[in-house]
Structure 1
Amino acid sequence: MTRTDEIFRAISWVIGIGCVIFLMLPIVITVAASFTSSPVYTLPPPDWSLRWYKSLAHKSGLLDAVMISVNLALVSTVISLVLGTMAAIAVARGRFHGKQAVATFVVSPLMMPGLVVGVALLQFFREIGLRDAYWSLLLGHIVITLPFVMRTLLAAMGSFDFSMVDAARTLGLSYPKAIAKVLIPNLAPAYLTGGLFAFLASMDNYPISIFLTDARNKTLPIKMLQYLEEQPDPSLAAMSSGLILLAVIVLLIGARTVGLNKMIQ
């Protein structure tokens, strides 16, 4: 390795480490601020304390918001796994013009600003007469979780041998049973990856949910915004740390079940 190569390698390492620090610093600051004993955001904390985590038990409406968010995330993820499987199979095996257009249409919500998608969904639901907040939120969350599932499964199906499905059908299985017994087990890492990302995307969604909630159906991010307007104390950092912990737990589950190396393939 020449001197020039060593210099460029060192520069690459410095840039890479700088990017990691830049991305991780807000997370570190948020977690550190959640353990402060001060009633305001102060770094470094004057004393380390769990007071803001204990205060979450007395937050009005927090448990209801968490339950709604978890419910929406679970239901929308399950529905997206079903719809994403059908959409991915149609694009991967279908023989019709415009397959790529269909794939692009399904992932298009990720290509547009969330606020634009939220306004569009709000107008659409009002036009068709859907005014129930829960069902509006559920459909909205399916719109944002389906792209994660569909694209992940479509990429995995590119290397899957569909002749195994055909062989299962010749042995007497119906097409749905062949999918359930052959395709899904073989693409388990893709299902897990897509499902985990979809769940996290639903739990953390703010720009779409803000247009579809009402006084009785507020997701956790919207409830956190309300707390921020009413009383901006470090309890918000404690809630954010909880969401960060959720993401870490999801990654650990993926690592223990299929391995991180398979999740990112």
Structure 2
Amino acid sequence: MNLMNFFNDTFEISTISESNDFNSAILLLTNKCNKIIYQKYKLLNRVGNKHKSYVLFHKEHTNEIIFEKKREKIFPFTNDILKSMGYSAIGKELLPGNNHFPLLKFYQENPEFDFYWLIEDDVHYNGNWSNFLTFFLKFSSTDFLSSHIYEFYEKPNWYWWNTLSHSNKIILSQNKLSSFNPIYRLSNRALAYLHNQLKDGWKGHHEVLIPTLLKQGGFNIQDFGGTGQYVAKNCINRFYKIIEINQIEKLFGNSMRFKPNISPIEITENLLYHPVKYFGD
């Protein structure tokens, strides 16, 4: 299989009429400047239908913002964002665990959207991005959409639980949630709440911080695939599939997982796949 075909421009972009006026920002998070990223941005940018696409570009010493055309909406940031926003980061780098910082920075400077999608550059959807993204416009009451949402008791040995902390507040382990966030959506009001909580002193890996704080705040949380208790109506194994081959680490073997990398021969259905790596990544 030719990997470049993953991001070709031949997908038919369908138009889905919606009865609401909600609009969304689509943020492609990357630190790369290459043809694959450019093609992926073009596909996301063609979704339209109340969606606007941006490249959330992590500027580093070894890269530059170079694209073939000048019509791309670029939102650049550096690791300085980890110190300048008044939040506490875990570690000194964006990864692991701090990818909510650029999302919150974008939200603060662009507060006009109802919903904000963050999509890491190694997420591949083997279908029509327009169908996927517009499907969730009807989920207007859902504040957080993500994958592999679990209660503490379902993954008690997960490494990042204890990164969620505050200098004088405690959330008991049994009240914590985790999620898998290579692609996720947050509502405007959820981002406002998270901003206030982070300003108040909460910190942690975003895959425990976001779902747990939103759960504590009474927000609506749903999973867009798999088989767990948070899976949204009509989404059981719809946008990614659960294949239970390892009870210790449930992400292995699924179409959305931490590792190993997705092989091209696995990409056979209209599902989300992660991580999809390419030559040079």
Normalising by structure 1, what TM-score? 0.26
Which of 1 and 2 has higher RCO (CA within 8 Å, sep 6+)? 1
Structure having the higher strand fraction is 2
Normalising by structure 2, what TM-score? 0.25
Structure having the higher helix fraction is 1
